[in-house]
Structures are given as structure tokens and as C-alpha cells.
Amino acid sequence: MRVAMFSTKGYDKTFFQAENRNHNHDIAYLEARLTAETAKLADGYPAVCVFVNDILDTSILDDLAGKGVTLIALRCAGFNNVDIKAAHKLGVKVVRVPAYSPHAVAEHTVGLMLALNRKIHRAYARVREGNFALEGLLGFDMRGKTVGIIGTGKIGQCVAELLHGFGCRLFAHDPYPNQKLVDIGVEYVSLRDMFSQSDIITLHCPLMPETYHIIDDAAIRMMKHGVMLINTSRGALIDTPDVIDALKDGKIGYLGLDVYEEEGDLFFEDLSDKVIQDDVFSRLLTFPNVIVTGHQAFFTSDAMKSIAKTTLANISKVEKGEQCENEVTVEHIKS
């Protein structure tokens, strides 16, 4: 199948070229992000392959369908950037990679917790300057601390299993409790109870209208003073200005982010020679107790191989007219 692959980096090309030996799709590796302006690059390609910050709203989908696009292959799990209803109406199939390595994201999540707790980012800089003083580096034992996990699907489950190994007390919130986690002692509680009792809160639910800004001023007011907040899911789960206010008065004691609501203009690019225009993001970078990574939680070689394998298999199945188990339908946005 002829595939226009948007937002392609060198690493995408490496993994997709290797896996494509098993499929022989005709792939155009495009660096551009998919936007209203760049949609014309898909002319002549029945399949479009996209990543997390490509935009597939009604008008772009309309434009793509008019150009003969019949398949959108997401090379990620989340599909909040695609108007699924609009795609369905236009007869454009949407497929995704529901699980490539939940372990990759979960391990990065726990990495952020440990780095923030033990101030590894600060220790690294200090030691390189010959400063071996310990003042300001005091951490806490993870063992015995209460961690609240919002969303216990594939990634949330892995996070819970890792933290179970640390000896944490685990609270969870999910409309569909996960029996495997109940069996290891995870307690499903209301958000109110989670917020008021957790030392660490970590987000692993999808971004949907119900979860948009799930962490806002009202939620933060219920939390313990000095709580650690981690978001490796989607940026808009957090109201960033509210979180900044809470960092300023110490209510939030640690913040670890791999995603940011306005990341589309920043992440995945080298902007080190540019002046960042986003003042909210820039403010975040001034706090000593904040670590931001640029949407890299998924980025392991194991996950990249798995993403390429599933994405190209999805495309092959649709090309052959076979049922694809990874199709995203309107049913997915009802749950």
C-alpha cells in the first residue's frame, strides 16, 4: 500500500524500514507534521500514518478523504488527536497500536518518581561541578508511601506492579477495576480519597472530555501538602497554570511530566537555538522540583520495534480487506 508517513524522524525510518522488509509497503517518510497546510502531501496515498501530535480534526479528515485517503494508521496508542466520528462518517478506517510496550512507559514513570524523590537531576549537575554537599538532596523511602494511580489499564497495571515491588501502598481509580491488581492488594478508591491520602499521584487514563483537566485547582486543594504529581499520559489531563500556582506555594512538592498540553509546538524538535515563546512552559522549567521529558516515555528499542511491527501489520490487514483487531471505532469513544 502507498503510505504517507507524517512526523517522521530518523529513528522512525530505521525501525519501519527494517520491519517493512516483511510487508513491502511503498512508504513516503515525511518530516512534516500533519496540519491543514501539509495535508496536500498525502495526495495519491490511500494510507496516512501519523503520530501523537498530528492533527486529524473534521476539516483535515475531510480534506484527506477528498484526496482518496481511506486509512489512518496511528503509530501510537492514544487517539485523542483524531475525530473518530468524522472519520467514521467519511468511511476512513482508523487503526492504532493499542499496546507496544506498556513497560516502557511504566518504567519511565517510575524513573521520574525516583529522580524527583532523590533529586538525581540536581545531584548530577552538582557532582560535575565538584559540589558534593548533600544539603537540598534529602529524599524519602518509597517503601510504605501511598501512591494513587488514575487509570489501571495496560500502563497503569505495569506501574502498580513495579511499585508493589517497592512496597508502596497502592490506591487506584478506574471505572473498570483490574482484578489482577485487586489480587495484589491495590485498593480502588474515589478520587477524593485518593487525592487526600496519596503521597504520589500518577496519571494513566486516556484524554477524553471526562478526564480533561482532571487535575485542576479543585483537585489540588484536596491533595496532601507536598504531594508528588506525575503525568506520562496526555498533557491536557492537567491544568498547567493551576499546577504552577500549587508549585509556587509548595502544595505540589514535586512534578514529573512527559507530556504537556501545548507540546505540539515544542516536543520532538531541537529548539535549543530558539527562544521558547510559551511562557507557561518556560515557567515550569524554572522550578528545581520539576522534571520535564519531551514525550519520550515510549521510546525504547523494544517499543519502537513493536510499534513498527503492529502498524505495518495493521496496514497489511486493511489492504487485504481482512478484519483488523486494532481498528478504532465509534464504540471506543463511547466507553
Q: Give the catalytic positions in this structure.
A: 234, 263, 295
49, 155, 186, 246: which one contacts ligand NAD (CB under 6 A)?
155
User: What kind and span of H or E run contains 212?
Assistant: none
Q: Provide the minimum distance between the beta carbon of 174 and ligand NAD in the complex, in angstroms, as a whole number.
A: 4
CA distance 76 to 64: 20
Site for ligand NAD contains 259 (CB under 6 A): yes
Scanning 15-23, 227-235, 264-272, 284-292 for contacts with ligand NAD by CB under 6 A, the matching segment is 227-235
Which residues between 121 and 150 bind ligand NAD (CB under 6 A)?
150
Q: Closest by alpha carbon to 258, among 283, 238, 286?
A: 238
- Contact between 78 and ligand NAD by CB under 6 A: the answer reads yes
- Assess 258 for contact with ligand NAD (CB under 6 A): yes
Looking at the Cβ atoms of 25 and 258, the one nearer to ligand NAD is: 258
Q: How far apart are CA 257 and CA 291, in angstroms?
A: 6
What is the residue whose three cell numbers read 525516583?
Answer: 114
CB atoms within 10 A of CB 53: 19
Give yes or no for residue 50 binding ligand NAD (CB under 6 A).
no
In the complex, the smallest distance separating the C-beta of residue 226 from ligand NAD, rounded to whole angstroms, is: 24
Q: x/- contact string, 275-304, with ligand NAD (CB under 6 A)?
A: --------------------x-xx------
Helix (H, G, I), strand (E, B) or coil at 223: coil
Q: Which positions ≥6 away from 162 have C-beta within 8 Å?
A: 106, 107, 110
Nearest residue to ligand NAD, using CB?
153
Question: Using the rule CB under 6 A, is 326 a contact of ligand NAD?
Answer: no
Least spacing, CB of residue 74 vs ligand NAD, in Å: 11
Nearest to 201 by CA among 234, 228, 232: 228
Q: By CB under 6 A, is residue 252 in contact with ligand NAD?
A: no
Options 4, 110, 188, 206; binder of ligand NAD; rule CB under 6 A: 206
Which range in 25-33, 117-125, 173-181, 247-255 contacts ligand NAD by CB under 6 A? 173-181
The Cα 70–Cα 94 span in angstroms is 9
* Separation of alpha carbons 171 and 163, rounded Å: 11
Q: Which of 316, 332, 296 is nearest to 104 (CA)?
A: 296
Which of 93, 2, 4, 81 is closest to 41 using CA atoms? 4
* Cβ nearer to ligand NAD, comparing 151 with 253: 151
Helix (H) or strand (E) holding 108: helix 102-118
- Identified binder of ligand NAD from the candidate list 125, 140, 176, 285, rule CB under 6 A: 176
First to last CA, the chain: 32
Q: Which residues would be at the binding site for ligand NAD (CB under 6 A)?
A: 77-78, 99, 102, 105, 150-156, 173-176, 204-207, 210-211, 232-234, 258-259, 295, 297-298
